[in-house]
Structure 1
């Protein structure tokens, strides 16, 4: 099923993200974790492409298995920062042959060792290419409620976001954020600029103290005072912090749904227990 049609047909959706293994040796463990999450029957699951496309060869295989074995709609990622146009053409063809209908089109992070290809500079160019290769794909894109870390001003970032949507992006998924007011303000700004596609909040449950510093470093996300207090209080008790993090994320989702933002994507980090905890807390709300 195409994600854009799912959003039209269902008032509230909950989806989870998984990522491929860094090496082939880890494939079986990731496969088992993804299967456990799929058994929860989320509305769809996304499968990431890996930094610089390093784990890209497994993205399509995991996505196809989730779709074919468990009947879960899938969103396969495709990043372009280190891809040639020929490689993109091959990946799109592979996704089509596997019956995958949804692609998350991303620029991706620039590898530490530098770029190995220069065919693409922005995700907008990738979206144009996917549409030119096969218009039937439903395409998702990324957006940043607190502004992209490489943009000096959010107004500039929103201009680029409009270009992405005009290129053919059917919906947007946000970078992680921990204060819902940030999202509400962002939605107001982009709607003012004529961006009307569905926006799916990306929620990251913070379940260990290392995630806080990493989240800030990678995304520039602001950590609210109440989250800092939570992490400080339970930092030395991993089980308590994990449960508190699941509850914090669940409360975020409930607030979003209450305010009419009803398609939620959870960055579950290949951890079925986190997905199970979120699903358990929301079972009567999302069904």
Structure 2
């Protein structure tokens, strides 16, 4: 099923996982998926090694297994940085041959002082390429606190609208810790003509190093409420984990009450955290079914 169709009748709840590193035990990801599939999410997305990295084939295999072994719809990430059109075609053909019909089209991260190479400079280029050559459902990213490389919020919305015009069917937001940013972004996106489903991306923060890395990569602002939690529990691993779970539950509860299109939970391959959060909000999701 194409993920864009899911939003017609319900508040969507989905998960993200990442493939194991090349030298890691591959059985671990399947144990993770076994536990996550118990949640019965609407779909599970699988990240991809940038530039056609070694983990790319694992992404395809895992996304295929999510559908065929666990009976859950899957989404395969595809970053286009460094890819030629021929390489992108080979990857997309393989995805399609494995029954994958939902692709999250991304530019991908670039290293400092590295020029973009390949045939795709932006995610919109890949989106247009997929739309012109395949009958696939295309997902794209959006940024409630604007993309770190954007000149302004207005400029960011202009390019987001362009991604949708190129063929994106469904958007997933970058993580945020202040729902106010998401609500402001959502309203302005609709005014700008972005009329596809927009899922709110939520990352439960369970350790200090994790959030420091996310702040650096994504430019996420830390609300005072969250900073107080971090400072109080940063030296107690279990307490910080539980506080991070509670914070995510609070965010999701508020988002569902405001009628969000969907929740996309960045699980960090941690079934315990995902289950704790889902158990707390599943009744809210079930009563949010659309007429």
TM-score bin (small chain): over 0.9
Q: CA deviation at 1:189?
A: 1.2
Q: CA deviation at 1:139?
A: 0.5
Cα separation, 2, equivalents of 1:155 and 1:281 = 36
Cα separation, 1, equivalents of 2:155 and 2:32 = 39
Question: Residue 146 of structure 1 corresponds to which residue in structure 2?
Answer: 145
Within the alignment, does 1:120 sit opposite 2:117 as a pair?
no
Q: CA deviation at 1:115?
A: 5.5
Structure 2 residue ranges without an equivalent (≥5) = 287-291
Q: CA deviation at 1:26?
A: 3.5
Q: CA deviation at 1:240?
A: 1.1
Measured on the aligned residues, the alpha-carbon RMSD in Å equals: 1.4
Displaced runs of 4 or more, over 4 A: none
Alignment of 1:212-223 (within 5 A): 212-223=211-222
Cα separation, 2, equivalents of 1:206 and 1:182 = 18
Cα separation, 2, equivalents of 1:108 and 1:31 = 25
Alignment of 1:93-104 (within 5 A): 93-104=93-104
The answer to whether the 8 Å contact 2:50/2:80 transfers is no
**Residue 25 of structure 1 aligns to a residue in which SS?**
coil
Cα separation, 1, equivalents of 2:93 and 2:211 = 38
The answer to whether the 8 Å contact 1:124/1:164 transfers is yes
Q: CA deviation at 1:41?
A: 1.1
Question: Residue 204 of structure 1 corresponds to which residue in structure 2?
Answer: 203
Q: CA deviation at 1:162?
A: 0.8
Q: CA deviation at 1:24?
A: 4.7
Cα separation, 1, equivalents of 2:185 and 2:112 = 30
The answer to whether the 8 Å contact 1:52/1:111 transfers is no
The answer to whether the 8 Å contact 2:110/2:116 transfers is no
- Count residues in correspondence: 285
Question: Against the structure 1 CA distance between its residues 29 and 114, is the aligned structure 2 distance closer, same or farther, given a 3 Å change threshold?
Answer: farther
Cα separation, 2, equivalents of 1:29 and 1:111 = 29
Cα separation, 1, equivalents of 2:247 and 2:163 = 32
Q: CA deviation at 1:112?
A: 5.4
Cα separation, 2, equivalents of 1:209 and 1:267 = 16
